[in-house]
Structure 1
């Protein structure tokens, strides 16, 4: 529930000195499964606002801002402008520019594929990131590693496997199959992969098309990782046109076994969905896991 005290404070943060006798409207909208989200309507424009507990998911919005800033400074693909990120009483609040949605023109998907390829060309000396962050509501380790296969298993799969096992969502048999997969990872991903800047949570709900028919990325879970992290996840829940992949392939050619790489990379988001939403995702995990 958005209290009067909090709404008043948010209003003053967005427009300092705002006359409280003037109308401002907090319109509840969809903002994901864990946040309250609002469109704040002033007489001169709108903003997007997310509110959450400051203690349940510590620094959730600070980490999101880190991701948005990291993507934005590359200059290749758009993200919302950060207006404010702050804590007030027991709340954390993120205020972003309001993105008006538009129609996808005939070049949208080609443009999107090209821009994602450019993002993935941004490299780093290690896999990981300067700080840990979140994948949805699950904490995500970004401890630096010089080897992708090691990073993927130790900082991605292993922590969420433990969470799922402790919640009785995975059995010891599953854990043993994951240990076998660890041995096979160099055959799947090869050696020498350079770290690539990835969005980290690239499903159809985490991009928008603005009024100028430009892709806009939202809700990042960034790290320097393998490009298959983004490309694989883009296939999980649909919503991406084949022209996106064709364009990406033109600017950043994929390996012959890219579908296998995407399938293995998708074990991570599927495990997170298993942990958050239950056993409905187990069959898809087993389908990949039992191949190894």
Structure 2
């Protein structure tokens, strides 16, 4: 989003690839206790955002407050100060839990010291209801990103960000405005079948009464194990919602990713939004030089697309149903299930 010759990261707008789709997911360092401990004092203020910037943010003056367009879930604002610029998202209807999840994801990615993400600073409640998140403001460069560098940096993040708890995340978060369940699970196939495909299939049945896609999808979910035979699966830190609207570059041309829906999962699941991410050949070549391709990758690719097609179906309606159903039927045929 252009703003005075510059652009910034972090505004939320979940839609189709033609519109804007995003949202996101924080690290241990930003536990709920630490995030909300300063809130007792801040909540006494009519403007906890300004109070934080002028205290813990180390600013003595706010020179300009300007809206950043492009959001359809949250209101985005830029605060220019003598200590630098801050990016703030607010939501008048939702409590801090959504932004807690986003901050945890951003911080987890930030701590890998691999690919650039906006550093989160503070999450809190608004006195009039709702919540906010304050984070680093990043000036965008002219180009979207270097594909080779993006592939290499993303692979480095996957390689560096590991979990000893299994697959999942410390908190549930959102994929767009859909809840994303991140209950820790030791087995990846079980996690993906239940908390990714299974959850979306249940939503489709609840929202649309779609018993056909539910029953066929559940049959697929119960039979995906053979697609992972001989595959080494480690819990890698995933951005979780990597499409073109969440990928850009800074003024030095370094890739930047934003608005995550983080969790620890199979690294190949990161490509589930590739149908509107614009990954080219140079991206995959660079990525697989760091994280080597495993046997059966091409057969699993559609399985990872399916989660996001189902989510689009649940969020935006029937125009995405045929794509989801086609993947389910093709996978069932391939697996002879």
With the shorter chain as reference, the TM-score category is 0.7 to 0.9
Matched, 1:159 2:199: yes
Name whichever of 117-126 and 211-220 sits farther off.
117-126
Paired position in structure 2 for 1:259: 298
Matched, 1:120 2:152: no
Paired position in structure 2 for 1:135: 175
- Aligned partners of 1:236, 1:57: CA distance in 2, in Å? 32
Closer, same or farther in 2 for the Cα pair 1:192/1:9, shift >3 Å?
A: closer
Matches within 5 A, 1:95-110: 95-104=134-143, 108-110=146-148
Report if the CA contact (8 A) 1:27-1:41 is conserved.
no
Per-residue deviation, 1:266: 1.5
Structure 1-normalised TM-score?
0.87
Matches within 5 A, 1:137-286: 137-168=177-208, 171-190=210-229, 192-233=232-273, 235-286=274-325
Structure 1 residues without counterparts, runs of 5 or longer: 1-5
Per-residue deviation, 1:19: 7.8
Q: Secondary structure at the match of 1:47?
A: strand
Paired position in structure 2 for 1:111: 149
Match of 2:110 among 72, 75, 78: 72
Match of 1:40 among 66, 79, 82: 79
- Aligned partners of 2:46, 2:304: CA distance in 1, in Å? 41
Matched, 1:88 2:126: yes
Closer, same or farther in 2 for the Cα pair 1:290/1:65, shift >3 Å?
A: same
Q: Secondary structure at the match of 2:275?
A: coil
Q: Secondary structure at the match of 1:130?
A: coil
Per-residue deviation, 1:124: 2.3
Structure 2 residues without counterparts, runs of 5 or longer: 1-44, 333-337
Per-residue deviation, 1:179: 2.2
Closer, same or farther in 2 for the Cα pair 1:79/1:7, shift >3 Å?
A: farther
- Aligned partners of 1:229, 1:238: CA distance in 2, in Å? 13
Closer, same or farther in 2 for the Cα pair 1:155/1:147, shift >3 Å?
A: same
Report if the CA contact (8 A) 1:11-1:18 is conserved.
no
Report if the CA contact (8 A) 1:29-1:39 is conserved.
no
- Aligned partners of 1:19, 1:124: CA distance in 2, in Å? 40
- Aligned partners of 1:19, 1:120: CA distance in 2, in Å? 39
Per-residue deviation, 1:41: 3.3
- Aligned partners of 1:281, 1:62: CA distance in 2, in Å? 30
- Aligned partners of 2:327, 2:132: CA distance in 1, in Å? 39
Q: Greater relative contact order (Cα 8 A, min sep 6): structure 1 or 2?
A: 2
Report if the CA contact (8 A) 1:57-1:137 is conserved.
no
Q: Secondary structure at the match of 1:266?
A: helix
Paired position in structure 1 for 2:19: none
Deviation string for 1:127-150 (max 9, x for gaps)?
112222222222211111111110
Report if the CA contact (8 A) 1:25-1:42 is conserved.
no
Report if the CA contact (8 A) 1:128-1:223 is conserved.
yes
Closer, same or farther in 2 for the Cα pair 1:123/1:97, shift >3 Å?
A: closer
Per-residue deviation, 1:241: 3.1
